[in-house]
Amino acid sequence: MDSPKGRVGLRIREWSCTGCGAKHDRDINASKNMLASGLRGLAGGIPHYSICA
């Protein structure tokens, strides 16, 4: 995949892969990654913390 690289590339929010023509959106991809991370945390169970020692 031909994605933007380096700090300058962070300003590029959307791009198309020159190899396959797929369109990518940095913000959409970030939201998918955050959702997946949260779901992995829920799958492991929510820890129960007792207030009283």
Quick one: average pLDDT of 7-33? 87
Tokens of 53: 């020692």
**Do the Cβ atoms of 19 and 1 come closer than 8 Å?**
yes
Quick one: average pLDDT of 34-43? 88
Residue appearing with tokens 């007792």: 50
pTM: 0.59
Residue appearing with tokens 């799958």: 43
Residue 26 phi, psi dihedral angles, 5° rounding = -60, -40
Q: Residue 42: what pLDDT?
A: 83
Share of the chain above pLDDT 90, in %: 21
Could you tell me the residue ranges of all domains in the chain? 6-37
